[in-house]
Amino acid sequence: MASWFDYTVNGIIIGNIYALLAVGLALIFGVARLINFAHGSVYVVGAYAGFVAVTQFGTPLPLTLLIVVVVGALLGLGIERFGLRPLQGYAHIAPLLATIGISFVLDQLVQLFFKPDPRALPSDLLNIRFQIGSGTIGALDLVIGGIGLTSAALLYFFLRFTKLGWAVRATAQDRDAAQQMGVDVNAVNRTVFAIASALGAVSGLLVGMYYNYIDPSMSFQATLKGVVAQVVGGVGNVPGAIAGSILLGVVESYGIALFGTSYRNLFAFVLLIVVLVLRPNGLFASRRQTPPEPMTGTFIAPSKPVRIPPRTLLGIAVAMALLPLVLPNPYVLQTLTNAWLYGLLGLSLTLIAGTVGLISLGHAALLAIGGYASSLLALDLGVPVGLAILSAGLITAFLGTALVFPSFRLRGHYLSIATLAIGEIVSLVILNWESLTRGPIGVTGIPPLSIFGIDLDTDRSIYWFALAVLVILAALQFRLLSSHLGRVLRAMRDDDVAARSYGIGLDRYKALAFAVGSFAAGISGAITAHLYSYINHETFNSQLSILALTIVILGGMGNVAGAILGSVLLVGLPEVFRVAAEYRVLIYGLVLLLLVRFRPQGLLGTV
């Protein structure tokens, strides 16, 4: 019994930390309708600003806090002014991608300046500890809780009783109406970004002090947990975000109590899915909350796709097929082989996200399912590799669709977050289901590629195989898009209410599209596994899901040729920038930002 008290206290303490992150994310979402993927990076910058202040100038905590607030607010203003304002009026997808680009750039800058080693971030608070249950809580725990509550209270008063606060709320409710009533929407956006980023930076400082540990790569986890917490509480809802964070902390803690440490995140993400499916507005949404996003037609930029005559496409395909004969450089061939395999992933996501409008943030899970299915079929059941790859595609189509099916009633960002959670759940199940997947040891000795008994053991043959699979599936997808089915899918994306009133069964069509898309991703994962000979739960990680989305947006949503072009660029560019060594990820982030800025509808345009 005493232990349950300890678990609860521990859950609240960690929830306290999530709350600092979630409040900032909730504010930004409330006003800008944007999941700010750069929030974790602001958190990192805040932690390092505090680190410099404390270790170089020996500032006391109140002064350190002030410095961090100022740095965070300025950074927020910068992000708003240079990263997001130019994208105003573009569809929602552009700023989302921009925040991903900004987070690359910020993380990389911090890593370059401060070196990647973890650092100690000492706090000068008195080391007083209070006995609670059998554990203790320290002064810093109380400060964190205090700052969380104070900032929530300040925000509440600001939003309720100041003119700017009213403007913020009005903008959150209806941006256009607010503007017509004379609200300076830009000023509101600036304010919100400054406040949210100051909060994010402070949370970085406090969490760093709490653990006496900061490193430049802690941003992704921070964003992830913050997003989960705020969705549990209700997106865009500040008090809800705090309650959701505490709930998340407690549920994680109980998860550890019941099943052990390695199940912790599984609990977090299952909680998220349950909340999303049962109460998509979050547990603490009031009735007056904004209705579940009328995203229809606004999330994806409508544009005129670049027309490429079929003959040109055919020509390019033939040229690519002849390339190994003219340029037998294995490095180039390998990079392009990778691009073809990611092109398959791109085809999959461009159909699901672009054509149907289900923006998936967990697409790497499909690669993982395909990779594991094919490897285990080949290793444990002795299925020939070619057949194993094909079966893996079918298994992925079935499993992927089944997993995502309960989330089909969600729209816009909610669906994205649900898929993010499903992706994490798949990876954690792979890690924990040892009897099938061999857990963290991974699957070794996966047989190399061979079809019809012919081993594909040269760089060329592997290249041709990947290219052939890509061309076949791309051609099928072209065919599908120009058929009646393709029009139905686009109709659902553009206006699902209208589509439904024409008698289209939304869920069935979504499931059909998801199955077709999952098949391509599963095949890609399966081929990758046989190429690598070894995979574990980290081979297909959540960064890959982000890459997949970037590929699709860059190429143009729903655009088959665009997905392949996007894949070639995003796999190729980091290789091209190799000369820049440590700076290459930075350059990559900047290029991404410029592309979003000047071509938000994607290089080849939305279909």
Partner 1 sequence: MSVTRRQFLLGSSALVALAAAGPAFAEPAKGEPIYLGVSGPLTGPNAQYGAQWKQGFDLALDEINGAGGVKGRPLAYIFEDTQSDPRQSVAVAQKFVADKRIVCELGDFASPASMAASPIYQRAKLVQFGFTNSHPDFTKGGDYMWSNSVSQADEQPLSAKFAVSRLGLKRIAVLHLNTDWGRTSKDIFVKAAKELGAEIVATEGYLPDEKDFRSTLVRVRDAKPDGLMLLSYYSDAALIARQAKQAGLSLPTVAASSVYSPKLVELGGDAVEGMFTASRYFPEDPRPQVRNFVTKFKAKYEKEPDAFNAYAYDTMILMGQVMNEFGFEREQIHQGLAKVKDVPSVIFGKATFNPTTRRVSGAMSVDLQVKNGKFTFYEGGAAVR
- Asked if 578 interacts with partner 1 (CB under 8 A), we say yes
150 near partner 1, judged by CB under 8 A: no
Classify each residue of 364-384 as buried b or exposed e, where b means 16 or more C-beta atoms within 10 Å of its C-beta: bbbbbbbbbbbbbbbbeeebe
Pattern 206-245, partner 1, x by CB under 8 A: -x---xxx-xxxx--x------------------------
Beta-carbon count within 10 A of 203 CB: 33
492-511 residues near partner 1, rule: CB under 8 A: none
Distance CA 13, CA 10 (A): 5
The residue within the footprint of partner 1, chosen from 376, 431, 520, 595 (CB under 8 A), is: 431
Note whether 36 and 25 are within 8 A (CB).
yes
The answer to whether 157 contacts partner 1 (rule: CB under 8 A) is no
CA 158 to the chain's CA centroid: 31
Part in contact with partner 1 (CB under 8 A); list of ranges 59-67, 252-260, 372-380, 465-473? 252-260
Site track 532-551 with partner 1 (rule: CB under 8 A), x = hit: xxxxx-xx---x--------
Residue from 142, 506, 575, 603 in contact with partner 1 (CB under 8 A) = 575
CA distance 355 to 180: 33
406 binds partner 1 (CB under 8 A): no
Site string (117-146) toward partner 1, x via CB under 8 A: xxxx-x------x-x--xxxxx--------
**Residues 313-332 interacting with partner 1 (rule: CB under 8 A):** 329-331
The tokens describing 393, both together, are: 């595609």
404 Ramachandran zone, left/alpha/beta (phi>0; psi -120 to 50)? alpha
CB 327 → partner 1: shortest distance, Å? 12
Binders of partner 1 among residues 15 to 44 (CB under 8 A) are: 17
Q: Is 10 in the site for partner 1 (CB under 8 A)?
A: yes
184 binds partner 1 (CB under 8 A): no
Rg (C-alpha) for the chain, rounded Å, is: 24
Segment near partner 1 (CB under 8 A); pick from 55-63, 185-193, 467-475, 574-582: 574-582
The residue within the footprint of partner 1, chosen from 256, 475, 476, 590 (CB under 8 A), is 256
- Dihedral (C-alpha) 447, 336, 579, 555: value to the nearest 10 degrees? -120
In degrees, rounded to 5, the angle at the alpha carbon of residue 314 between the alpha carbons of residues 309 and 316 is: 100
Q: Give rounded-to-5 percent helix, strand, coil for the chain.
A: 75, 5, 20
* Torsion of Cα atoms, 575 then 580 then 583 then 589, to 10°: -40
CA distances from 378 to 368, 373, 375, 407 (A): 15, 9, 5, 32
335 in contact with partner 1 (CB under 8 A): yes
**Residue 264 in contact with partner 1, rule: CB under 8 A:** yes
Does residue 348 touch partner 1 according to CB under 8 A? no
Closest CB to partner 1 among residues 27, 224: 224
- Asked if residue 448 binds partner 1 (CB under 8 A), the reply is yes
Tell whether residue 116 is a contact of partner 1 (CB under 8 A).
yes
